[in-house]
Amino acid sequence: MRLCVKLFFVLTICTGVVWGDIWNSPYLESERGKNTLFGVFSSPPKHLDPVISYNANEWSILGQIYEPPLQYNYLKRPYVLEPLTLTSMPKVEYLDKNGKICDANDTNISFTRYRLHLRDDIFYQEHPAFVKRRDGSLLYGNLSEKMLGTIERIDDFPRTATRRLHADDYAYAIKRMAVRAYHSPILDTMLPYIIGLDTFSKKISRIAAMKHRQHQKLDLRQYHIEGVKVVNTQTIDILIRGKYPQFLYWLSMNFFAPIPWEADLFYQQEGLVEKNITFDTQPVGTGAYYLAHNDPNHHIVLKRNPHFHTEYYPVLSEEEGRRSKVPPSLREDGGKKLPFIDEAVFTLEKESIPLWNKFLQGYYDASGISSEAFDQAVQIGSSGDMGLSPSMRAKGIYLLSAVQPSIFYMAFNMSDPVVGGYGERARKLRQAISIAQNQEEYISIFMNERGVPAQGPIPPGIFGYEEGKKGTNSYVYEWKNGKRIRKSIETAKRLLAEAGYPGGVSAKTGKRLKLYYDTTATGPDDRALMDWRRKQFAKLGIELVIRATDYNRFQDKVRKGKVQLFSWGWNADYPDPENFLFLLYGGNAAIDTNGTGINSSNYKNPEFDRLFDEIKSMENTPERLEKIEKMLEIARRDAPWVWGVYPKSLTLLHGWFKNVSPNAMANNTLKYKRIDAAERIKKQQAWNQPARNPLMFTAAIILLAVILLLKIYRNRENRIYIPKKEDLC
């Protein structure tokens, strides 16, 4: 009987946690109650080196670790830059060709000098690269074979240290950007601006190649860029050519994050490179968090940097809150010290369904909305408004929706003899096709309403975008009863006839107009989209031929202008209209720049280009807005693009996840967010209790079976004959 009691106790334990604990949690009990964010990533980051990385998935990690000089205010809208590692915004001085300071509106400006003055309370995370001997040499700067034999991870080094951020570290980062072997994606963008960068890049790239062949380290401290001057340990000057206000936006990007020379030399050791211990896998920064664990095929863990400098949650006045449309719940922590979260655990989830289920169970704090889960999560009202389904509201989940500073568009190759050109007939052909492309239908069918029909190249949230009638593309839409209404297909057919193709047939040749659309959409799921594309042209009597190919071949054809129609997209590098209008600037035409130009449609309008040259260096003034409005009118009339869609992001968050504000420009947002771990545990327990009756019934059956087996066993034992000693003689 004693055995039965013990067995019953064991079975009760095995059936759970049935009476209180969370039976299906993917985390250890010790992890669940901590001040930890649990999130996901869908694809492993390839580069965590700030000089190389140019990927949103990677920047969501890097932004928490590295600190460029500037950052975006987390709450203010429109987006506002503010100091991050600086004592104040950079001091800007304009110089003439002789180096004499001149006024900001002077026509003789030849150079702009940015002076950056650093705070003196900023330190790097703990790292073995900073450990030095008494003579100042690096303790781990020349690792022996014996020492390397004990190292498999960065945590295997027995000693770590930190040091203060210096102005030299920012200069070192720019030098490192200049090395061609590192493949910095913005080097060619910076070459025309930073004085001496082009010459330096050519020289240092040759030196780097030679050092590599000789298996020697490249110490960039001994080389200098003409336009980058370290004034003292806390001050650096950057001299750029001409006037380029957008340079301040670049100073908020990870490319300009500081690189300590100690870490650069440390990671150049061949023994560490062979073990994949590099900048690409183990960043070294001054940010609110450091990379504590990097297993890109399973988990990535960020932990609070104990050396993080003092920073506070932004404070907004009532007026600022109204102007920026910030709800009171996002202002409650104003003035509190950052960061709030101690640790962030990101798990690789390649499939949307397991991610969604774990989110509903409360094991992930936030989630996007996959196509499979859309109807379960979201309800579309009769007016097109989105709202949460009752089941989501019952769980205390809330929805964040924001139009992104991005655009997806279909481009005409303006150098093509059929769809290109600037005559009236060519314009009417493109306008007719633009009207026929029902973007509202596209957004409904293929995007689950997660988009807004574009009216031009500038998306919402960027200076130059305007709401209402004034911001409407009058060549595609009409403004009726306070709404945009797409022009009728009859209007499109009339324009097509005026273009010389009545009913889609050439008035000259009598042949049906056949156009070619190049795409990388080659999968089975893309068939419906391509069928939809054909139908949009078929409404006009135009035959659309789909030419699907791989991405490399597609890019090559676009760069060489060997396409008629194709789809493309652009995400803002920084929140300025120049970053979108330059996609249509004639000087950036791909066919005139050996394929390096960003103007893939090869659009060239002299008046548009003249206005672009004027606005690109202007501040956001009414005068600049007036010029931008003229540019938009020109582009809408010429119709080099079917303007397409401004995508909209949808994010679901549990009620315990606080201070989440959509900010498409900032990357370092983790430090502002907050978790109510106690509330999360409470909800997880409520949502993840097993069905107790079946479990207990099964346990009872097992217990009964064991008792019966024991009883049978004992009965058999009693019947066994044990021979006596005399019987054996």
Residue range 62-83, pLDDT digits in tens: 999 999 999 999 999 989 999 9
pLDDT surpassing 90 at residue 242:
yes
Angle of CA points 644, 455, 447, to nearest 5°:
35
Fold annotation for 406-649: Dipeptide-binding Protein; domain 3 (3.10.105)
**Alpha helix segments (H runs only) across 598-691:** 606-615, 622-638, 677-687
What pLDDT was estimated at residue 709? 78
Name the least confident of 2-6, 39-43, 220-224, 536-540.
2-6
Which one, of 500, 609, 602, lies nearest residue 558 by Cα?
A: 602
DSSP string spanning 126-186?
PBGGG-B-TTS-BTTSS--HHHHTT-SSGGG-S--B--B--HHHHHHHHHHHT-GGG--TT
Counting every residue written for the chain, the total comes to 729
Using CB atoms within 10 Å of the CB of residue 476, give its burial: 0 to 12 exposed, 13 to 18 middle, 19+ buried. Answer: buried
Q: What is the pLDDT confidence band of residue 717, given thresholds at 50, 70 and 90?
A: low
Are 50-282 and 406-649 equal in CATH topology?
no
pLDDT surpassing 60 at residue 9:
no
Q: Where are the domains of the chain?
A: 2-20+690-719, 50-282, 406-649
Tell me the per-residue pLDDT of 153-191, one tens digit each, with 9 for 90 and over: 999 999 999 999 999 999 999 999 999 999 999 999 999
8-state DSSP, 697: H
**Alpha helix segments (H runs only) across 620-659:** 622-638
What pLDDT was estimated at residue 18? 43
How far are the Cα atoms of 232, 369, 506, 658, 713 from residue 388, in angstroms, in the given order?
Answer: 55, 11, 50, 18, 61
DSSP string spanning 443-459?
HHHHSTT-EEE-SSSPP
What pLDDT was estimated at residue 138? 97
What are the tokens at 692?
A: 């107790």
pLDDT surpassing 90 at residue 131:
yes
Tell me the per-residue pLDDT of 439-449, one tens digit each, with 9 for 90 and over: 999 999 999 89
When pLDDT is averaged across residues 522-542 and rounded to a whole number, the result is: 92
Rounded to whole angstroms, the Cα distance separating 464 from 334 reads 31
Please state at what angle helix 424-436 crosses helix 527-538, rounded to 10 degrees.
Answer: 130
Q: What is the pLDDT confidence band of residue 418, given thresholds at 50, 70 and 90?
A: very high
Question: Looking at domain 50-282, which of 3.30.70.980, 3.90.1150.10, 3.40.50.2000, 3.90.76.10 is its CATH number?
Answer: 3.90.76.10
Pairing outcome for strands 91-95 and 111-117: antiparallel
What are the phi and psi torsion angles at 20 (to 5°)?
A: 175, -45
What pLDDT was estimated at residue 728? 40
- What is the three-class DSSP state of 344? strand
pLDDT surpassing 90 at residue 31:
no
pLDDT surpassing 60 at residue 462:
yes
- What is the three-class DSSP state of 296? coil
pTM of the shown model: 0.88
When pLDDT is averaged across residues 246-250 and rounded to a whole number, the result is: 97
Q: What percent of the chain has pLDDT over 70?
A: 93
Q: What is the pLDDT confidence band of residue 43, given thresholds at 50, 70 and 90?
A: confident
Rounded to whole angstroms, the Cα distance separating 192 from 196 reads 9
| Mean pLDDT rounded to a whole number for the chain | 92
When pLDDT is averaged across residues 245-267 and rounded to a whole number, the result is: 97
When pLDDT is averaged across residues 416-435 and rounded to a whole number, the result is: 97
Rounded to whole angstroms, the Cα distance separating 431 from 476 reads 7
